[in-house]
Amino acid sequence: KQEVTQIPAALSVPEGENLVLNCSFTDSAIYNLQWFRQDPGKGLTSLLLIQSSQREQTSGRLNASLDKSSGRSTLYIAASQPGDSATYLCAVSLSNSGNEKLTFGTGTRLTIIP
């Protein structure tokens, strides 16, 4: 059974700092990994999607890496801003065989201090 863990559960950093969020998964046979952010009481906003054949993806100040063999992904946020405060979730999918579902991590609640 795939298990996805995110450490730390909560993180507070001063505005302007660079930071890294971690995601680990137990079954390395993933098809892809997706990072989301969730604002309080809201739905999920997709940030980055990394296919299993890729090592990283970048979007603006965000960079996500994937190391399938070690079962790890990181989300790097450069020059953090108060608007980055949210819960960040990673999710993996195991198959594209028509049996798709996402297995989510427990999330990291990020607070950027102005």
Partner 1 sequence: KAGVTQTPRYLIKTRGQQVTLSCSPISGHRSVSWYQQTPGQGLQFLFEYFSETQRNKGNFPGRFSGRQFSNSRSEMNVSTLELGDSALYLCASSPSGRVDYGYTFGSGTRLTVV
- The contact set with partner 1 (CB under 8 A) reads 31-32, 34, 36, 41-46, 49, 51, 89, 91, 93, 95-96, 98-107
- Which one, 77 or 91, has the nearer CB to partner 1? 91
Taking the complex as a whole, the smallest distance from the CB of residue 26 to partner 1 amounts, in Å, to: 16
Q: How far is the CB of 69 from partner 1 (least distance, A)?
A: 20
SS3 assignment for 2-65: CCEEEECCEEEEECCCCEEEEEEECCCCCCEEEEEEECCCCCEEEEEEEECCCCEEEECCEEEE
